[in-house]
Amino acid sequence: MPFLNYRTVTYSPAYTIVPTYECFNRCTYCNFRTEPENSPWLSLSAAKDIFKRLKKQNVCEILILSGEVHPNSPRREKWFNLIYDLCELALSMGFLPHTNAGILSFEEMQKLKQVNVSMGLMLEQLTPNLLQTVHKHAPSKVPELRLQQLEWAGELKIPFTTGLLLGIGETLEDCWDTLEAICQLHQNYQHIQEVILQPHSPGTQQSFDFPAFNPHQLPEVIAKARQILPADITIQIPPNLVKDEKWLLACIEAGARDLGGISPIDEVNPDYPHIQENELRKMLQPAGWDLVARLPVYPQFDEWLSGDLEAGVRRWREEFGVLSSSILG
């Protein structure tokens, strides 16, 4: 992604919509999922009310983040249709949807491509060893399934975000192997926008009894990731999980150039409130970094969009006062 200058960091003005918190996976580090009976599904009318309020808040991206309904469940079609309808509604009201809903079929991804400017799925870690520990009761965390998802995204020309979860029992070599796999897929399809490096941060709901990933180690991981990944893939870190200002700046100096979606609540890590734009700017500016808003699709992928998606992206680029060749992804 091109930048105005070397000292630029981006973020997405975003809001997260959760169709359901229920999930058939039971990852032991998860602070998001609930049992089905404890998670009523979001209605379209409730979502519409939320979108109306957001119209006045300069929110661009609507992240549709959902727990997973089992692929063989009789409710799967209803769940998928709700996600599609939420994306369509968000797009019709002027927002740019980005969906991360776990493992999808090729046909489901193909349909969601029609109403999303980009999509995402965390690889987390590709080592099969985690299937005996944190992913023992998480059928959709099988590495081959998640790699297949990234490959399908490439075949379908879907701008894609993926990432690693750090500190869940992997080794550093496991991290490098996962990054190499992302690199290989991107070389084949040129479709990966961002790679998120997300440090495990213990929450109040999880059963995984393991300390937080050492933030002092994160700059080292970022620097190595920057060596492995192609230059056109941006490295993203979540600033609310790197609360120490010194180490946040160290992560940026090491090669992280995006801070992700900044919204009122981090649904994945609810114990760690997002640091808002003004506070981030106060951290970055004294060190000579400019904080700049971006769209949930990077400029090099504009040609993959058509119809309402292309028109919506064009409107937002004009709204931000720049053309598609600008830094605003």
Q: What is the pLDDT of residue 209?
A: 84
Structure tokens at 148: 């297949």
Residue 103 pLDDT: 97
pLDDT(324) > 70: no
The pLDDT of residue 321 is 64
Could you state, in order of their start, the residue ranges of all structural domains in the chain? 8-319
Residue 280's pLDDT is what?
94
User: Residue 5 above 80 pLDDT?
Assistant: no
Dig out the tokens for 235 from the structure: 């490295």
Q: What is the pLDDT of residues 21-43, one digit of tens each?
A: 999 999 999 999 998 878 899 99
Count other C-beta atoms under 10 Å from residue 52's C-beta: 10
Q: What is the pTM of this model?
A: 0.94
Higher-pLDDT residue of 328 and 218 is 218
pLDDT at residue 71 is higher than 90: yes
Pairing, β 234-236 against β 192-199: parallel
* CATH 1.10.20.10 at 8-319, yes or no: no
Mean pLDDT, residues 188-213 taken together: 91
The predicted-structure confidence for 55-68, as pLDDT tens digits, reads as follows 988 899 999 999 99
Confidence check: pLDDT of 203 > 90: no
Query: Based on the number of CB atoms within 10 Å of its own CB, is 98 exposed (0-12), middle (13-18) or buried (19 or more)?
Result: buried
